[in-house]
Amino acid sequence: MLKPYISYFYFHTSTSKHFSKSFTFYPNFKHAITAYANSKSLKINVGSHKIIPSETVNVLYTMNYDKAYQVFLSGVFSKIGIVFHPLGINHFIDTDLVKIYNLDQSHAFSHFGNEFVEVLTRVFETEELDTKQQLLENFLISKLQAFNQPILKKAVELLFENQSVLKIEEIADKLEINRKQLLRIFQKHLCCSPETYRKMIRFRNAFNQLQTDKDRTLTDISLFHNYYDQSDFNRQFKSITSEQPKNLLKNISHVGNEDTYWKFD
């Protein structure tokens, strides 16, 4: 029931008061709910913006279309991650995503209220991974609902299929709506423009392939993902990550068994 919407869960824990680590993560078409217990020492930098949670259980919602996020962790903490497929979160909320996501509110996610905090607390308290998973799945199944936006779903499908081949106007024409209508739908349910979403899809697909297909050259991957040439890819890659591909990629770590790639500092 959840597979079409949930990509994976992950759990990150430190039991040492001497633990100190920072990492950077990059744009992704997958969004995530992250919950922290004992998180007074958590800091998240987005440019000059800093998020410092301090509650017993902090719940954040992260969508990352165009920035490098730097996270600082130290001391004892526990973290739960729920990673959604594209449009996944929209099947669990009863309103438009733009109404519950606000960067000015420090990514705080309170839509599920105290009920969710109680479930998360139980997850934090149990040690068995299977039990953690079951608790999360039971809660999410209880929130699962229809998301009736066929035009948006088709537009996202076309963007993944074609990346930069189709112009946004051409996608709108295929869907028999105008460009402004398409923009409004994206803003309501994905909190970004179709152009921003397409740029991020192309970047992330290339970024992931660079991690998994070591035999391909940068030029091969640039052209495969419809960049004009390697110079164009390098320029756009640096505009997002602030680093050239060759310099960054040798410092990226694969975390877990899914497509989670972080740079540890």
What is the pLDDT at residue 44? 63
Number of domains into which the chain is organized = 2
Task: Round to whole Å and give the CA distance between 135 and 28.
Answer: 26
Judge if 190 and 238 occupy the same domain: yes
Which tokens hold the place of 265? Answer: 């500092």
What is the pLDDT at residue 180? 95
Q: Which domain holds residue 21?
A: 6-143
Q: Which of 83, 114, 143 is the last residue of a domain?
A: 143
How high is the mean pLDDT in each 10-residue block of the chain (265 residues)? 96 85 89 82 54 68 84 83 96 93 69 94 94 97 96 95 81 94 96 93 90 86 88 90 86 86 85
**Strands across the sheet containing 261-264:** 49-51, 43-46, 69-74, 20-25, 261-264, 252-254
Enter the pTM of the model: 0.89
Q: Is residue 38 part of a domain?
A: yes
Contacts of residue 15, defined as CB under 8 A and 6 or more positions apart, other chains included, come to 76
Would you tell me how many other CB atoms lie within 10 Å of the CB of residue 20?
12
> Between the CA atoms of 112, 155, 81 and 114, what dihedral angle is there, to the nearest 10 degrees?
0
**One-letter identity of residue 33:** I
Judge if 108 and 160 occupy the same domain: no
Q: Which residue has 């993944």 as its token pair?
A: 160
Q: Which of 100, 122, 143 is the last residue of a domain?
A: 143
Q: Which of 98, 122, 143 is the last residue of a domain?
A: 143
What is the pLDDT at residue 76? 79
Judge if 119 and 26 occupy the same domain: yes
Judge if 51 and 169 occupy the same domain: no
Dump the DSSP string for the chain.
--TTTEEEEEEEEE--TT-EEEEEE--EEEEEEEEEES-TT-EEEETTEEE---SSEEEEEEEESS--EEEEEESSEEEEEEEEPTT-GGGS-SS-HHHH--GGGTTB--TTHHHHHHHHHHHHH---HHHHHHHHHHHHHHH------HHHHHHHHHHHHHTTSS-HHHHHHHTTS-HHHHHHHHHHHHSS-HHHHHHHHHHHHHHHHHHH-TTS-HHHHHHHTT-SSHHHHHHHHHHHHSS-HHHHHTTEEE-SSSS-EEEE-
What is the pLDDT at residue 56? 75
Q: Is residue 258 part of a domain?
A: no
What is the pLDDT at residue 108? 81
Contact between 67 and 56 under an 8 Å Cβ cutoff? The reply is no
What is the pLDDT at residue 216? 85
What is the pLDDT at residue 96? 94
Q: Is residue 263 part of a domain?
A: no
Judge if 30 and 62 occupy the same domain: yes
Judge if 124 and 239 occupy the same domain: no
